[in-house]
Structure formats: structure tokens, C-alpha cells
Amino acid sequence: MTPGEILLAEGRLETGWWGPGPEAAPTIVLLHEGLGSLGLWRDFPARLQAATGCGVFAFSRFGYGGSDPVPLPRPLDYMQREAREVLPQVLDTIGLRRGLLLGHSDGGSIAAIHAGSVQDFRVQGLVLLAPHFFTETAGLAAIAEARRRYEEGDLRARLARHHRDVDVAFRGWNGAWLDPGFPAAFDLLPDIAHIRVPVLAIQGEADPYGTAAQLQVLEREAYCPVEVLLLPGIGHTPQAEAPEAVLAAVREFSDRLFRPAE
């Protein structure tokens, strides 16, 4: 990884780059989950770069990892703001020419919002890992259980190794999702109905934070081509729990997207 940083008006973002730059190859931009960071992708970016030949770029969003913190509470539309206001600045700053967005969990939702509401012809496809498009009762219960483990168990100590301000990272995510107004604020059906690029959506059947209904609504509402991969026995992090299956699917998807015209 080549470490770096981006300076925006809102503050500093920590970044990492694997493989060729945007002038030499398509770029896969990684968007992490609600408790993730640049470092918590672990070896996945390097393996993804090797599998696809694309450049891979990742960053910690504001409030996560080593990036600058944000004030709490987060607004209930924080993912919409990230997709429409911050992400376009990031893509401009790195000089994106063409590529795809690969988002996990919250990051998948952000990728879908961006593709459905921002006209950006550089983004030619989406890979969504365990994305959310609406709230589910079981998923909210799992988020409430995460709060209990954070306050009473060892979750805070484990996350603190990866975040400059662990309370901002956790409470910003957890507090927004468990706010009574969040289900009404988080309805991405209008966004996914306006996506106009191919989508690969991957989810584990044993994901406690979301069911296959998330993928079903994507297939039903999206106008664009949608491929779905449902992995038996896999939970919320398919890239870590079933890396070979995920890498193979993303490699095939990216090959089709970026194959030179014959």
C-alpha cells in the first residue's frame, strides 16, 4: 500500500493506494462499513488489486480510522451527505478517470446513493457487499446488541485499535441507526431506481444485519443490470469470510466492464 492523505475543506482523510494509478488502469474505490476504516480492509485491497489488475483506492471517511473526527450526533441522512457531498470531492481529488465503486454495508449504501443521484460517467459499475437500502427489525436488533457489547463487553477496546476517536466512530453510526427517526430517513428505493450502471450485489445468508430482502428490492427496483450472489453460511463480511468467492465474482465483473471493445 502507498499511504497518503486528502485535504478537503471539511478536514483530512487518510488514504491508501494499491497498484497502478488512474492514468494507467481503471480504479476500484473502496467504501468501508459503518464501523470500518482504511486499515480494517486488511489484505483485501491487495488481493483485489492482484485479482483484477485495477488500481485500488481506499480511505477512512470522516470520523473513522485516522481521518479527522466529526461532531455528534451524526445527521440521520449522513450516508446521503457522504454520497452526494464528500465522495464527489474525493473522486475529483484522486483524479479518477474510470472505475467502479465497491462498498461494504454502509459503504454499499453510499455507493448506491452516489450512483443513483450524482451524474458521474467515470463510475461504470458498482459492487455492493452486504448493502442496506431500508431498515429491517432484525438488523436494528443486531445494532442494539452491538451497543450493549460496546458498553459492557470488549468491542470498544477492539475498535479503539483502529480509530483515532473510537467513540465518534461507534456512536456516530450506532446512534443514527437506532434513532427512532432513522427508518423514515433511510429509504434508498428512489436512489436505486435511478442507478444506470451494472451492479454486482453480494450478501451472506447468515448476515445478522440484513436479509436477502435487501437484494430482492435491488433486483425489483433497479433499472440497471443487477447480478446477485447469495453466499450460504456467510455473515456480514463476505470479503473476509469468503474471500475467494468474492474475488472471483469481482474479477469476472470488472473484466466485463473494462474489457477493451473489440
H/E segment holding residue 57: strand 55-59
Cα 98 to Cα 56, 119, 124, distances in angstroms: 12, 13, 7
For position 110, what pLDDT does the model report? 98
Q: What is the pLDDT of residues 172-202, one digit of tens each?
A: 999 999 999 999 999 999 999 999 999 999 9
Q: What is the pLDDT of residues 14-54, one digit of tens each?
A: 999 999 999 999 999 999 999 999 999 999 999 999 999 99
d(C-alpha 197, C-alpha 224), whole Å: 6
For position 262, what pLDDT does the model report? 42
Cα 191 to Cα 101, 141, 188, distances in angstroms: 15, 25, 5
For position 13, what pLDDT does the model report? 98
Exposure string over 90-114, b if 16+ CB within 10 A, otherwise e: bbeebebebbbbbbbbbbbbbbbbb
Report which residue type is found at 30.
L
Residue 138's DSSP bridge partners are none
CATH code assigned to 2-258: 3.40.50.1820
- pTM attached to this predicted model: 0.97
Q: Is 60 exposed, middle or buried (0-12, 13-18, 19+ CB in 10 A)?
A: buried
In contact, 249 and 202? CB cutoff 8 Å? yes
Q: Per-domain residue ranges for the chain?
A: 2-258
d(C-alpha 7, C-alpha 31), whole Å: 18
For position 57, what pLDDT does the model report? 98
In contact, 201 and 249? CB cutoff 8 Å? no
In contact, 133 and 189? CB cutoff 8 Å? yes
DSSP annotation string for 88-139: HHHHHHTT--SEEEEEETHHHHHHHHHHHHS--TTEEEEEEES--SS--HHH
C-alpha cell at 175: 446512534
- Low-confidence residues in the chain, pLDDT < 70: 260-262
For position 259, what pLDDT does the model report? 82
d(C-alpha 110, C-alpha 84), whole Å: 9
C-alpha cell at 96: 479518477
In contact, 193 and 222? CB cutoff 8 Å? yes
The single residue listed with the C-alpha cell 437484494 is 215
